[in-house]
């Protein structure tokens, strides 16, 4: 029986074709990711205002940030507050909604699409929507409060309410993505586990905490990590809704970095801020990964 061997020339050309197809991706990564990273690291050791040539000043930017910039510590504290408020909501609310959307009920596809729509909506549109919702005079939220006899609030003008208001809008926008992650995990849980629990007399609440939660720990860990990183990188809704106000109560790390780089033209100083943020996120993620082995079950 004769066999047809693939010529070596064709095999070699197929290999080159593969490299050819992935070349645009690598060129894009080098041009728009790796080179800017290297340039920002170099710029963090300089004083540069875009107009004049960069002046090498060593680690003075880092020293000034850590010891002489009170606003830096203010925005870092605001960012930590933002993260502490948003992570529990970003982890738990999508989990509960995913469990509900995993049921076989009429119209479940519509509800899944409805929760996903904010994720693909422009950040500017979402920010403007919530600015109107929170408006102290004409906003829908205050209108509903007044209709039941409660007093309206200055949601985005009160330093004590502005941050929770922005956090709620952020969590609302990101619900769709986290719900999809949880739904993928829920649909991978074997049905026989629930059937065995039912035979043993377990109720729905016991099934949720004894089966669903342990089986979803990889997805919960993933959502926890990306929520933490996203919290430290928050910018869009802050820019549209509050511009860091009132009295810097919502001025978070990346917004202050943007103000420093674009508003004040301190590119070297802003680069140093970016690298400090990178180290913070790397350290926090490393700790989360190390701790995850004690509670995440694969």
Q: Which residues pair with 56 in a beta bridge?
A: 46
The rounded mean pLDDT for the chain is: 91
Peptide bond connecting 246 to the previous residue in cis, omega within 30 degrees of 0: yes
Return the half-sphere exposure (C-beta side, CA atoms, 13 A cut-off) of residue 181: 23
Give 298's pLDDT tier (boundaries 50, 70, 90). Answer: confident
Would you state the pLDDT for residue 294? 92
| Cα 210 from Cα 200, distance rounded (Å) | 13
CB 251 within 8 A of CB 75: yes
**Cα torsion for 63, 69, 73, 75, to the nearest 10°?**
-120
Q: Is the pLDDT of residue 45 over 80?
A: yes
Q: Is the pLDDT of residue 95 over 70?
A: yes
Run of H or E residues at 85: helix 70-101
Domains of the chain: 64-292 (1.10.3720.10)
CB 216 within 8 A of CB 238: no
Would you state the pLDDT for residue 8? 59
- pLDDT for 224-283, tens place per residue? 999 999 999 999 999 999 999 999 999 999 999 999 999 899 999 999 999 999 999 999
Q: Of 70-84, 97-111, 199-213, where does mean pLDDT reach its minimum?
A: 97-111
Q: Is the dihedral of CA 51, 52, 56, 60 positive or negative?
A: negative
Alpha carbon of residue 79 to chain centroid: 13
Q: Is the pLDDT of residue 1 over 50?
A: no
Which of 140, 233, 224 has the alpha carbon at shortest distance from 182? 224
Give 157's pLDDT tier (boundaries 50, 70, 90). Answer: very high
Query: What would the mean pLDDT of 280-292 be, rounded to a whole number?
Result: 94
271 CB neighbour count, 10 Å cutoff: 23
130 phi and psi angles, rounded to 5 deg: -75, -30
Would you state the pLDDT for residue 97? 94
Would you state the pLDDT for residue 219? 95
| Cα 9 from Cα 15, distance rounded (Å) | 10
Instruction: Give this prediction's pTM.
Output: 0.88
């Amino acid at each position: 029986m004769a066999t047809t061997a693939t010529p070596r020339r064709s095999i070699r050309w197929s290999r080159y074709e593969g490299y050819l197809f992935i070349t645009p991706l690598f060129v894009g990564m080098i041009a728009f990711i790796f080179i800017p990273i290297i340039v920002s690291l170099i710029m963090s050791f300089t004083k540069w205002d875009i107009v004049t040539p960069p002046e090498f000043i060593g680690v003075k930017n880092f020293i000034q940030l850590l010891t002489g910039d009170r606003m830096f510590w203010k925005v870092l504290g605001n960012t930590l507050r933002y993260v502490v408020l948003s992570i529990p909501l970003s982890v738990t609310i999508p989990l509960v909604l995913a469990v509900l959307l995993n049921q076989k009920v009429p119209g479940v596809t519509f509800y899944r699409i409805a929760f996903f729509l904010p994720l693909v909506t422009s950040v500017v549109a979402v920010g403007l929507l919530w600015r109107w919702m929170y408006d102290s005079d004409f906003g829908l939220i205050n209108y509903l409060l007044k209709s039941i006899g409660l007093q309206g609030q200055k949601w985005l003008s009160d330093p004590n309410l502005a941050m929770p208001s922005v956090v709620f809008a952020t969590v609302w926008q990101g619900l769709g993505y986290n719900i999809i992650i949880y739904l993928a995990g829920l649909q991978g849980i074997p049905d026989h586990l629930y059937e065995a629990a039912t035979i043993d007399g377990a109720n729905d609440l016991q099934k949720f905490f004894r089966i669903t939660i342990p089986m979803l720990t990889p997805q919960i860990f993933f959502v926890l990590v990306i929520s933490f990183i996203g919290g430290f990188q928050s910018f869009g809704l802050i820019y549209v809704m509050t511009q860091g106000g009132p009295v810097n109560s919502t001025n978070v790390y990346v917004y202050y970095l943007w103000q420093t780089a674009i508003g004040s033209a301190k590119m070297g100083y802003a680069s140093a801020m970016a690298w400090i943020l990178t180290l913070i996120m790397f350290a926090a993620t490393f700790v989360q990964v190390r701790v995850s082995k004690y509670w995440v079950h694969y």
